[in-house]
Structure 1
Amino acid sequence: MVGMDITRVSHDRLSDKIVNQIINMIREGSLKPGDKLPNETILSEQFGVSRGILREALTRLQSQGYIRRKPKDGTYIQDDAQNKLMNESVDELLKKATYSDLLDFRETLELKMIERVIERAGDEEIEELFDVLGVADNEEIQHNMDHYFHYKLAQASRNIFFMNFIDTYYDLISEIANRSHRDQERRNQIAEEHLAIATAIANRDKAAARKAVLHHMRMVDKKIESMK
């Protein structure tokens, strides 16, 4: 059983305060993956709350993936709790970023991503990129197709962080992207730009793929600037 520096909680939403305190202890390293927490009686006394409030907090922590509870054994910090916190910290930073920040970061990431696709992906994986090309009839479908194409690129790179970023990025820019995709001419251009990227990757040509990605990012940036 680990030693824990616990502060008694007070005021409303006591279960929230317990959740936040335990998450902070995981973040700071005083609670480590695999650590076993004290039993509910001891833990509720240390926090200064009823067992009902403690159980509510533990249930939330379990549903969020920070702890696991073993019947007749006890409560443990999940093995991947630190990784989960790191991913959530990245998500928070992205939410605070400007669109320009996101686009700069995405450009840098995708240039590295297409190199990894060329190095790691099999011919079948690359061929699948061509299956998601095309021009949609409306902005929402185009946005989804755009998202899926870049997600398939990230998937083919075999890097889970690339995949997570693409999902987060497209969630954050959905409103802006849908406005951009209302233009039929722009939708046609997007299809051509994606085709150029996929073709360069299929040819295993890093220089051409890099050029195609940079052109695509410049066109995205140009369209956003025209909407301001």
Structure 2
Amino acid sequence: MEEQSGLLKMKSVKRKTLSEQVIDQIIELLMTGQLKPGDKLPSEMELMEMLYVSRPVLREAMSSLETVGVVHRKTKEGTFFSDRIGSNPFRIMLALSAGDIESIMETRLSQELGLVTLAAEKISDESLEKLAETIKVMEEKEENYNNADKEFHRIIAHSASNSITEGIIDPLLNMFDETLGSVSLNHRNKELTVQQHKDIYNALAKRDPIETYICMYRHLDNVRQRMFKSIHNK
């Protein structure tokens, strides 16, 4: 990789730039064809020298890329672009939006509203049982029920039974958690959150696409308003 890294063309990142600009440059390696899906990236030290950034800035950028599945790290081997990145441009677009809170929230809103209506038509009894289990876990947890919450939304998305949307929802939920998870915990009303999940579940159980759409919108809009309130109160 030492020989290859010297031939790569990347723009240096100037002083005090955000990790998003590092992400732009790393994604550029894919977009220009200098590296391909599955290829190994230059070492951390090489990237720091090529981009003129500090280790914390670079690691923040790489963490965001790993969260949405653009890269993956192998112990003692280095960091690689994911093999299937070329077939999933949504991951690249999501990576480029890292830190754009409003865009990530709006993307989640638009995606999940469509997915929940499809799920209302296709969801299986087994998936409904799994949804009920996640709600029970949320009720039993005093505070940290984030994983159960995320699993609830993942089950619904996968119940839409669409291979394209399945490739979208996981990186989207992961990015949401990575970027906004800690923020979204603020101002959270557990009783309201659980009840909204129950409303969504009940609408799905009735196989009613319109009611599920309304219930999901109410829930995600509540998440959005809570998030903006938390950010503005910082």
TM bucket, shorter chain: 0.5 to 0.7
Larger RCO, structure (CA 8 Å, separation 6 or more): 2
1:179 aligns with 2:186: yes
1:125 aligned partner: 127
Distance 1:21 1:92 in 2: 10
Closer/same/farther in 2, CA of residues 212 and 29 from structure 1, 3 Å limit:
same
Correspondence 1:96-135 to 2 at 5 A: 96-98=99-101, 100-134=102-136, 135=139
| Cα distance, 1:217 vs structure 2 | 1.9
Aligned-residue sequence identity (percent) comes to 19
Q: Read off the aligned partner of 1:222 and give its amino acid letter.
A: Q
> CA, structure 1 residues 23+197, in 2 after alignment: closer, same or farther (shift >3 Å)?
closer
Give the alignment's TM-score, normalised by structure 1: 0.61
Q: Could you state the TM-score of these two structures normalised by the residue count of structure 2?
A: 0.60
Q: Which runs of 5+ in 2 are unaligned?
A: 10-23, 40-73
For residues 58-137 of structure 1, the aligned pairs below 5 Å read 63-66=78-81, 80-83=84-87, 87-93=91-97, 95-98=98-101, 100-134=102-136, 135-137=139-141
Task: Map 1:185-200; keep pairs closer than 5 Å.
Answer: 186-200=189-203
Amino acid in the other structure paired with 2:122? R
The answer as to whether partners of 2:119 and 2:160 remain within 8 angstroms in 1 is yes
1:128 deviates by 1.3
Q: Which runs of 5+ in 1 are unaligned?
A: 10-19, 36-58, 67-77
1:155 aligns with 2:158: yes
Match for 1:90: what amino acid? Answer: L
What amino acid is the match of 1:116? L
State the number of aligned residues.
173
Alignment RMSD? 3.6
What per-residue deviation string (whole Å, max 9, x for no partner) do you get for residues 125-171 of structure 1? Answer: 222111100424433x2223222211222232342212221122122
Structure 2 residue 224 is the aligned partner of structure 1 residue 224: no
Distance 1:86 1:113 in 2: 16
